[in-house]
Amino acid sequence: MDPDWLLRHWALLAAAAVAAAALFAVLVRVWSGSRAARLKRALRQRRRKESELERAARSARRADRSLRRLEGKVGKIPPKRLTEAEGHAQDARRLYEIAADQLLVAENHVRKIIVEEFPPGQHDALRGRHRLSDVPRKAAFSFDGSS
């Protein structure tokens, strides 16, 4: 490939570069829309929600311990501090409940992808591999406050 050839066939090289970029974009789109890719994304989301639930549980336990410690010193601390600790513990428990609901939603999404995208013969194996039960545990949330 000499400079003279490049000058004569510059349009072919430009078209090849554009075609390569288009082919790459199409391949990325096809791969990201595949059932395996959808399942992988849903599993990643589920793992994130599991870690958020663990963090919320640690925070709730820490807030409850702090509240119990302050309740033991009820005569020695200002009432405002105890009230703030009660509010903090209640907030931490609510955040834990929200994180648990979000995990249920993520698990249901993984379950839905398995059922809709994969053949029935693979459902049990996929559920077992990804630690899912056959039936969802419960509704993700409710409006009656008993979630």
Does 97 map to a domain?
yes
* pTM of the full structure: 0.70
Rounded to an integer, what distance in angstroms lies between the CA atom of residue 93 and that of residue 86?
11
Count: domains in the chain: 1
Does 12 map to a domain?
no
Residue 57 CB contacts under 8 Å (≥ 6 apart), including other chains: 96, 99
Instruction: Return the sign of the alpha-carbon dihedral for residues 67, 69, 75, 77.
Output: negative
Walk along the chain (147 residues) and give the pLDDT tens digit of each residue: 788 888 888 898 899 999 999 999 988 887 777 888 899 999 999 999 999 999 999 999 999 999 999 999 988 999 999 999 999 999 999 999 999 999 999 999 999 999 998 999 988 898 888 888 766 666 555 545 454
Does 4 map to a domain?
no
The range of the structural domain enclosing residue 66 comes to 37-129
Does 121 map to a domain?
yes
Does 2 map to a domain?
no
